[in-house]
Structure 1
Amino acid sequence: MLQRSNRLMRTMFWCGLVSAASAAPALAADVTGDWLVKDGTAIIRIADCDGAMWGVVAWEKIPGGRDTKNPDATKKNRPFLAMPILISMKPGEEKGEWEGHVYNAKDGKTYESKIHLARPDALEIEGCVLGFLCGGEIWTRVTSLPPGPATATAGTAKGAPAKRADKAQPKAPAKSTAKTTGFANSPAAAENDPVGDVCLLPDVARGTH
């Protein structure tokens, strides 16, 4: 009886190890969430929208930016807040890598880009984003948006430029996160969150930049 019990315990132990090993790559490769860019001027929220990764501006250090360099005249007054930056990124050739495009508001152009996790709380980007990224950069995962005035409403991202936001720093990255869709495992998606569900934003839903 004791031997049978020991065998059962060993079986359960090894099954647990296999399950943990299987789950680890999925968690480790999860690029969704809120990411603070290297110079701290913006937070980009990445979400899985129907199998493609989209990243939008979820927070600006200086609110009220506009997409004045966009070659599309109808978008020149588009707010930076909730604007797509990482566009329709699909799984790449390398495991854990996503390939797609980035929109650079500095020159109004779109560039090819790749993203992957350097560490669970560090995202490596290749491409040009908002003028502060050309080549490669590491973004840091955050668990909340800094306090400040809401400059857009979820799903619309319209409205007049807002006052300057507080200079509070984002909270430190979480120990681990669970993958979700739209809000992209972001605790920032709450009542004070001006962006909300990435996948419901018109520019993302239309698949445009």
Structure 2
Amino acid sequence: MKRFWICASILAAPAAAGAADADPIGKWRVADGTATIQISRCGQGMCGKIAWLADKGLDENNPDPRQRSRPLLGLPILSVEPKGSNQWSGTIYNAKDGQNYAANLALRSETVLRLEGCLSGTKICGAEDWTRVR
């Protein structure tokens, strides 16, 4: 068992080092491949907007009826602040269900960004990995 942990530590070291040098600014494809999110700097934190969608449409599931006619393409959905090394926290909007979620981002490597989100005020949570688009 001890040998397994030593090997795992050695194998994991390059990925961790790569993550420290990576920058989350750029385009990320969501786990199901239906959208690409453009992450940019916004003050001390980062913002994200929908840069590409497989199915273009409107924000029909928004709880505010006045916003249901706005296009999804270009919609700002992410706002996060630094939380630690390669980690950020804030909020994300899910246009599929019209809900805002507490969001945590963690850069796993140069090409993988982990999103964990929880519906505000609940224990309803989910997570997925986004892949950098080159």
TM band (smaller chain): 0.7 to 0.9
Q: Distance in 2 between matches of 1:29 and 1:86?
A: 19
Which stretches in structure 2 are left out of the alignment for 5+ residues?
A: 1-16, 119-124
Q: CA deviation at 1:29?
A: 4.4
Letter in 1 for 2:67: K
- Describe how 1:54-203 pairs up with structure 2 within 5 A: 54-63=47-56, 65-87=57-79, 89-92=80-83, 94-127=84-117, 135-143=126-134
Please give the secondary structure, in 2, of the residue aligned with 1:126. strand
Quote the sequence identity (%): 46
The one-letter code sitting in structure 1 at the alignment partner of 2:72 is F
Find the aligned partners of 1:74 and 1:28 in 2 and give their Cα distance: 42
Give yes or no for the alignment of 1:36 onto 2:26: no
Measured in 2, the distance between the counterparts of 1:125 and 1:28 equals 19
Paired with 2:36 and 2:29, the residues of 1 have a C-alpha distance of 4
CA RMSD of aligned residues (A): 2.0
For the 8 Å contact 2:18–2:110, the answer to whether it is kept is no
Q: TM-score, normalised by structure 2?
A: 0.75
- Please, which runs of 5 or more residues in structure 1 have no aligned partner? 1-23, 129-133, 144-209
The structure with the largest alpha-carbon Rg is: 1
Q: In 2, Cα distance between the equivalents of 1:111 and 1:49?
A: 19
CA distance in 1, matches of 2:31, 2:23: 19
Deviation readout 1:143-189 (Å, 9 max, x if unpaired): 2xxxxxxxxxxxxxxxxxxxxxxxxxxxxxxxxxxxxxxxxxxxxxx
> Where in structure 2 are the equivalents of 1:16-55 lying within 5 Å?
28-55=21-48
> 1:176 maps to which residue?
none
CA separation of 1:127/1:105 partners in 2, compared to 1, >3 Å: closer, same or farther?
Answer: same
Aligned length: 112
Tell me how far apart the structure 2 counterparts of residues 26 and 115 of structure 1 sit (CA, whole Å). Answer: 13
Report runs of 4+ in structure 1 exceeding 4 Å deviation: 24-27
* Partner amino acid, structure 2, of 1:101: T
Structure-2 change in CA distance of 1:135 and 1:141 (3 Å): same
TM-score of the two chains, using structure 1 as the length reference? 0.50
Matched residue SS, 1:119: coil
Contact between 1:31 and 1:116, CA under 8 Å: does it hold in 2? no
- The Cα of 1:28 is off from its aligned counterpart by 2.3
